[in-house]
Structures are given as C-alpha cells and as structure tokens.
C-alpha cells in the first residue's frame, strides 16, 4: 500500500476518523508486534517463544490508517514494522509517512491533546524514538557479507565487537592476560572481513539510504518546530544511532578493497522540505 493511499481522508468521522485507543485495533496490533524475550532461559513447561509478526503488523496498521483513523501511534507501529522488514529504506518510508500525516492532518490528527496538554499527543514520537532506534540497532542487517561464510551484521553486533576489541586492548595495556573471545562473540576483525566481501554498490546504496533517512528526520524536526513551538518532540536517540550507522558504512566503504570513488555526503535539507510521498 502506498503512502499516498494511507493519506486519503476518511469518509466517516471527519478526515481523521475516530480515536482508536480503546478499540480492538490497538489490541490486535499490540498482539501482533509482541515477542518474547529470547535472552531469558526457557523453563521446562515453556512453549515455543512468540516472535513478532511484522507482516501482520503492517497489514493491521495500514488498514487502520486507511479505513479507521489517522493516528500517530498507529503510524509509529507501522514504522517499526517497516524498519524491521525493510531496514534503512523502511526507516525512510516510516519518517516520510509521519511527516506527511503531521503536515496534512495536524489539527485533527490522533491522539489529540487533553485539556491543552500536548504530552498525550507527543508521546507517540517518544515511543517511535525508542522503538525505531531499537529496530535499527538490533534488527537491521547493516553489513551483509557475501560468499560461503556470509553473515548479516547489525549495528548492535558491530558495536559489541568493537567494544570487546577495545576492552581487550585496555586489558593488554594494563598487563592483564588476554581473555579469549566467546565462541559466539563476533570479533571486530570478523566484522571488517564481512564488510570487505560486501559489494561496493550495496555498501554505497546502504550509505545513501541512511543519509536520506537522516535528512528526512531533519525535515520532520523542522516541521514539528512549527507545529509545536516551544516544546517540539525530537527523535534524538534514533538520530544518534542512525549517525553511528552512517559512520560504520562510510568506514566500510572507505576501507573496501574495491572502493575508489568519493564517499557521498549528506544532501542539504531545505528549511521545511517534506520527503517525497510515494
């Protein structure tokens, strides 16, 4: 479903429809996106761990936005699913949708403020900042190696590998004996080796997607400055994580054995440029 379709005004209940906070749609989406914590040990009587059904989340959210309500929280849930399924491109699409909804429907967009208090309205942006950040960190394959031993490496795995290497250097400089890495611990050398097998066009495309997403977030913040002067919400944690992802991708591209062209820089963002709506 295209973003333009999701922006079509609703026919009943005004252009934004009715609030869904206490409706079955919220519960269904929450159930579809819920997943058990895989880091916890399984008990004797524990069944199969539940994993999030991101395709079902997409279906439910798109139907809710198209037929029932223009709702920031539903858009935030949809964005989380898009990022989990489509990575950096999904993040750009999620930010484009959020920008377009706010620009087109802000006076009636759900959730509405309560008694003049904007916190209820800005809460979905805080939710998006936390959960989009987590999706980018833990679910998006930032580096995709090729070959018989190919691995998909997330930013979280890259960060952990670099931290382990730095800790090893500290221990060595302090005269302590090196500890062997855990069997399941990705080393920084292994991460760099995987990056070296990633095709240059794929690495460049990933960097360009990250840069475009970052520019879209800047545009969203400019819009929110105008809509909520004084205390606009910010997706700060997401922006910091995305900047780290860009840094990793630039490093991978610059150190790639087949790389020769200049690394693309982030495009300038006009004062209030909305991302293109597809």
Three-class SS state of 150: coil
pLDDT of res. 81: 99
Is residue 234 left, alpha or beta, with left meaning phi > 0 and alpha meaning psi from -120 to 50?
A: beta
Share of the chain above pLDDT 90, in %: 62
User: Does residue 194 lie within any of the structural domains?
Assistant: yes
197 with 145: CB under 8 angstroms? yes
Domain-located, residue 18: yes
Q: How many angstroms separate the CA atoms of 26 and 57, rounded?
A: 11
Helix (H) or strand (E) holding 17: none
**What is each CA distance from 71 to 17, 107, 167, in whole angstroms?**
9, 12, 45
Higher pLDDT, 181 or 262: 181
What is the domain range of residue 21?
3-35+51-254
Residue 141 has pLDDT above 60, yes or no: yes
Domain membership flag for residue 264: no
What is residue 262's predicted lDDT score, i.e. its pLDDT? 45
CA distance 41 to 46: 10
Position 134 pLDDT exceeds 70 = yes
Q: Which residues contact 60 (CB under 8 A, 6 or more apart)?
A: 25, 28, 29, 32
Asked if residue 174 belongs to a domain, the reply is: yes
Say how far apart CA 267 and CA 255 lie, in whole Å. 23
Average pLDDT over the chain, rounded to whole? Answer: 87
Residue 131 has pLDDT above 90, yes or no: yes
Confidence at residue 45, expressed as pLDDT on a 0 to 100 scale: 44
Residue where the block lists tokens 């205390």: 231
Q: Indicate whether 235 belongs to any domain.
A: yes
Tell me the pTM.
0.86
- pLDDT score at 269: 55
Assigned token pair, 65: 């936005």
Question: What pLDDT is recorded for position 260?
Answer: 66
Distance in angstroms (rounded) separating the CA atoms of residues 119 and 234 = 13
Residues 210-224 have a mean pLDDT of 98
pLDDT at 163 > cutoff 70: yes
80 CB contacts (<8 Å, ≥6 apart)? 33, 57, 94, 128, 131, 132, 135
Q: Is residue 266 part of a domain?
A: no
Rg of the chain taking only CA atoms, in angstroms: 21
Residue 154, pLDDT > 50, answer yes
pLDDT of amino acid 44: 46
- Whether the CB-CB separation of 23 and 50 falls below 8 Å is answered with no
In the chain, what are the helix, strand and coil shares in percent, each to the nearest 5? 60, 5, 35
Residue 16 lies in a domain: yes
Task: Please state the rounded mean pLDDT for residues 29-53.
Answer: 75
How many domains would you assign to the chain?
A: 1
Sign of CA pseudo-dihedral 242, 246, 252, 253: positive
Residue 42 located in a structural domain: no
Point out the least confidently predicted range of 63-67, 86-90, 106-110, 166-170: 166-170
Higher-pLDDT residue of 39 and 205 is 205
């Amino acid at each position: 479903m295209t973003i333009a379709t999701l922006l079509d005004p609703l026919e009943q209940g005004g252009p934004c429809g009715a609030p869904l906070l206490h409706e079955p749609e919220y519960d269904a989406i929450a159930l579809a996106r819920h997943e058990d914590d895989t880091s916890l040990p399984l008990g004797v009587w524990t069944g199969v761990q539940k994993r999030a059904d991101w395709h079902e989340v997409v279906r439910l959210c798109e139907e809710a936005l198209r037929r029932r309500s223009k709702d920031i929280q539903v858009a935030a849930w949809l964005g989380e699913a898009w990022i989990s399924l489509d990575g950096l491109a999904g993040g750009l699409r999620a930010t484009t949708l959020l920008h377009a909804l706010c620009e087109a429907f802000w006076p009636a967009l759900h959730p509405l403020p309560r008694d003049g208090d904007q916190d209820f309205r800005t809460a979905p942006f805080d939710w998006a900042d936390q959960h989009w950040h987590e999706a980018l960190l833990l679910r998006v394959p930032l580096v995709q190696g090729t070959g018989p031993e190919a691995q998909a490496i997330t930013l979280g795995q890259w960060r952990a590998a670099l931290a382990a290497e730095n800790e090893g250097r500290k221990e060595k400089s302090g005269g302590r004996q090196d500890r062997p890495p855990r069997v399941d611990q990705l080393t920084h050398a292994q991460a760099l080796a995987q990056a070296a097998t990633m095709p240059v066009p794929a690495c460049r495309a990933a960097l360009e997607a990250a840069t475009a997403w970052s520019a879209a977030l800047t545009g969203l913040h400019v819009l929110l400055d105008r809509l909520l002067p004084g205390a606009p919400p910010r997706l700060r944690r997401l922006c910091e994580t995305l900047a780290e992802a860009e840094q990793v991708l630039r490093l991978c591209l610059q150190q790639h054995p087949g790389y020769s062209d200049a690394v693309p820089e982030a495009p300038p963002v006009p004062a209030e440029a909305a991302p293109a709506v597809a």
